[in-house]
Amino acid sequence: MAAPAELALLLEQRGWTAQPPTEHPMSGVSESRWIAPAHLVAAAEAAKAAGYFYESLTCVDRLDPHGAFELVITFARWDAPARVAYRVWTPKDAPVPSLAGVFGIAEWNEREAWELFGVGFSGHPKLRWLLLPDDTEFRPLLKSFTAPPPSNYDDSLTAPAAPQDERTDSHTHG
């Protein structure tokens, strides 16, 4: 029944933690550690053994330091308000080891992250489209994505090209 502090300590002893590439504070969690992608599966198994359940996977398309993905995987417990966040930093083309073997829900979360961002997951049973139609070629949640290819489901074919809305540019650099 490891409290979050003990689990965090365990991760550090085993040397699975990595240096934080950005100084981005994390709140709403008891402990948050940067995990090296290579040790992700072992860390997840440690969390499962300690009684945590796989809560969520958030993929963030980071632009400011040097264009990479930040994966925030949170684990929570049933009996205590303890939430541990594993943060993984991967360059855009390097695949991350999949947790589908450890947690069942990881399969869907990873399929969604692959589909909306393009993050590669090695060892995933079958990376296929989950939410978007099977013939989509774009990754919608990337910051570089602004509009889908023209189709008759919106006004792209009929209406003249809408002037580029200034708001979508303003936020790219926060």
Partner 1 sequence: MGVVVPAGRPSDQELERLAADAAPFVRLAMVEDVLNLCRANSLWPITFGLACCAIEMMATGMAKYDLARFGAEVFRPSPRQADLMILAGTISRKMAPVVQTLWDQMPEPKWSIAMGGCTISGGPFKYPGEYAIAEGAEKFMRVDVHVPGCPPRPEALLAGILTLEEKIKQGRRFGRTR
Partner 2 sequence: MSAPTPTPTAEPLDTYTLNMGPQHPSTHGVLRLVLTLRGEKLVHVDPVIGYGHRGHEKMAENRTYAQFLPNNSRQDYLAGVIYNFAWCEAVEKLGQIPVPERALVARVILAEFNRLASHLMWIGAFLLDLGGWTPQLYTWDDREAILFLLESVTGSRLTYCTGRFGGLSRDLDPDFPRRAREVLKKLKDRWQEYEDLVETNVIFIERSRGIGVFSREQCQSYGVTGPSLRAVGVPYDIRKVEPYGAYPRFQFDIPTRTEGDAFARYWVRVQEMKQSVRIIEQALEQLPDGPIIHEKGLGSKKRLKLPVGTQYYAVESPRGQYGIVIVSEGGTEPYRAKFRTPSYANLALLPDVLPGYMMADIVAVLGSIDVIIPEIDR
Binder of residue 27, out of partner 1, partner 2, none (CB less than 5 to 8 A by kind): partner 2
Residue 83's alpha-carbon distances to 5, 23, 26, 49, in angstroms, are 10, 20, 12, 15
- The rounded distance, in Å, linking the Cα atoms of 121 and 127 is 8
Nearer to partner 2, 14 or 24 (CB): 24
Among 69, 89, 103, 121, which residue interacts with partner 2 (rule: CB under 8 A)? 103
In order, the DSSP letters of 59-91 are EEEE-TTTSEEEEEEEEE-SSSS-EEEEEEEEE
CA distance 15 to 36: 9
CB of 162 to partner 1, least distance (A): 6
The residue among 53 and 138 lying less far from partner 1, judged by its C-beta, is: 138
Are the C-beta atoms of 64 and 75 separated by less than 8 Å? no
Q: Map the footprint of partner 2 across residues 108-137, applying CB under 8 A.
A: 108, 116, 129-133
| Contact partner at residue 152 from partner 1, partner 2, none, CB < 5 to 8 Å by partner kind | partner 1
Residue placing its CB nearer to partner 2 in the complex, 38 or 172: 172
The footprint of partner 1 (CB under 8 A) covers 131-133, 138, 140, 145-148, 151-155, 162, 165, 168
Least gap, CB of 174 to partner 2 (angstroms): 3
Are β-strands 31-34 and 83-91 bridged in parallel, bridged antiparallel, or unpaired?
parallel
∠ CA 54-56-60, nearest 5°, is 140
Quote the tokens at residue 169. 């540019």
Residues contributing to the site for partner 2 (CB under 8 A): 24-29, 48, 51, 53-56, 58, 60-61, 64, 72, 74, 76, 78-81, 83, 85, 103-105, 107-108, 116, 129-133, 140-141, 167-168, 171, 174
